[in-house]
Homo-oligomer: A and B are copies of this chain.
């Protein structure tokens, strides 16, 4: 009897662990580009190198695969923000936060795009997580930033929009990668663009453009 689906067994088989990993890897490939609606189970099965029924043996539905991916990404995606230290030095904390987010954009662009796709669609699968855990974490860190501003350690600014601007500028290099490459052209589109971006962004957030006021 092949009724006991993967989810039902308490202890996961070696094969289960391996195959589920292969499937999620393939699903990430496809979902991150085409979004949930634009992705077909057959596509995932082909990338994963297994038959569709076999794939559906491990994940009952397309939604189950998507949900598993989103859950995983949501957790790791907020790691850098969690590491934001209230007792640290404002400059080094902000610098290292930018650097970490930029490294994630470079090393995990598919995860970034999966998340971006979900946002574009109005977050139908994760709106609760946004309003709950995400908002709570951001509220906490925003309070830290506000305290720094009150203490005169950094300029007074809206801490929420500060966080938004770090998110958007860094993730841009994953989500809009094609555009970045196209605009930079052959000359500058080498892998050095992430170092250039890091240098520019750290300067922007720390010093701004230092426009000379006449």
Residues of A within 8 A of B (CB): 32-39, 89-91, 94, 113, 116-117, 119-123, 127, 130-131, 134-135, 138, 152-155, 157-158, 160-165, 167-169, 171-173, 175-180, 182-185, 188, 196-197, 199-201, 203-214
Q: Which 7 A-B pairs have the closest CB atoms?
A: A208-B208, A37-B38, A168-B172, A38-B38, A130-B182, A161-B200, A155-B210
Docked Cα-Cα span, A131 to B185, in Å, equals 7
Instruction: Check A203–B34 contact: CB distance below 8 A.
Output: no
Contacts of A182 in B (CB 8 A): 123, 127, 130-131, 134-135
Instruction: Check A172–B178 contact: CB distance below 8 A.
Output: no
From B38, B154, B155, give the contact of A34 (CB < 8 A).
Answer: B38
Instruction: Check B200–A157 contact: CB distance below 8 A.
Output: yes
From B39, B135, B165, give the contact of A204 (CB < 8 A).
Answer: B165
Instruction: Check B161–A33 contact: CB distance below 8 A.
Output: no
Docked Cα-Cα span, A154 to B212, in Å, equals 6
Instruction: Check B122–A178 contact: CB distance below 8 A.
Output: yes
Contacts of A210 in B (CB 8 A): 154-155, 207-208
Contacts of A131 in B (CB 8 A): 182, 185
Nearest B residue to A196 via CB reads B158
Docked Cα-Cα span, A38 to B37, in Å, equals 5
Docked Cα-Cα span, A34 to B35, in Å, equals 7
